[in-house]
Amino acid sequence: MGDGTNGHKHATRFEFTAARNTAVFVCSRVRDGAPVLFVSRDRDGDWQFLCGGNEHGDGGTDGASLACLECVVAGDLTLNDVSDLCSNWTAERPGVGGAWRRHDRGEDFIVLGILEGYPVRLREVRSPDSYREHVGYALWFNQGYDFALQQVLWPDRDGRFPGDPDADPATTALQLRLP
């Protein structure tokens, strides 16, 4: 990922708020020069720059490497377009220069097997009002609000969930999204 002299590249444009020398994870393909098509920022704010292949993640066959954030950005200045990516979000694109599609992993967590093989989406519920209105016994049992509350959403006939573009309004109306 470096320039061959001291191993560091300088980006002519750098819009990330993280320090230029921040250590980030890259897959072996990106390390070897493949374009970054998938960017992930975990809950702790750590960055991953991946090629978009399917072999990443737990049990994957592609080992991650550490790289300097500025070196990664110097190789593709369009990565500045996702410099404002929030923690626990991902962004992907079809190719270099393509439009980034952002995903909130908190809302896109889909689970199979809860409703007899149908996919569902779990959404984190954050409002104390939702806790009081819907899970009063859990508040008593846990002696306060210090527990995670998830709302289960189901898709329409075409697999779109409430909040997705073009989701069926009738299905969406049946599932009020808790704040």
d(CA 68, CA 89): 20
pLDDT at 12: 94
Q: Is the separation of the CB atoms in 130 and 139 below 8 Å?
A: no
- C-beta separation of 49 from 42 below 8 A: no
Q: Are 171 and 155 in contact (CB under 8 A)?
A: yes
At residue 61, the pLDDT reads: 55
Phi, psi angle pair for 29, to nearest 5°: -70, -40
**Predicted pLDDT of residue 48:** 94
Tell me what pLDDT residue 160 has: 87
Q: What is the pLDDT of residue 117?
A: 66
Q: Determine the pLDDT at residue 59.
A: 47
Written as six digits, the tokens of 63 are 């080992």
* pLDDT given for residue 151 in this prediction: 86
pLDDT of 149 reads: 85
* Per-residue pLDDT, 110: 54
pTM of the model: 0.57
139-165 pLDDT, tens digit each: 888 888 888 888 888 888 888 888 888
Domain boundaries, the chain: 23-104, 109-174
46 contacts 24 by C-beta, under 8 angstroms:
yes
What residue ranges of the chain have pLDDT lower than 50? 3-4, 58-59
Partner residues linked to 83 by β-bridges? none
Please state whether 57 falls in left (phi above 0), alpha (psi between -120 and 50) or beta: left
Strands, sheet with 89-92, edge to edge from the N-terminal-most edge strand: 64-68, 23-27, 47-50, 38-41, 89-92, 101-104
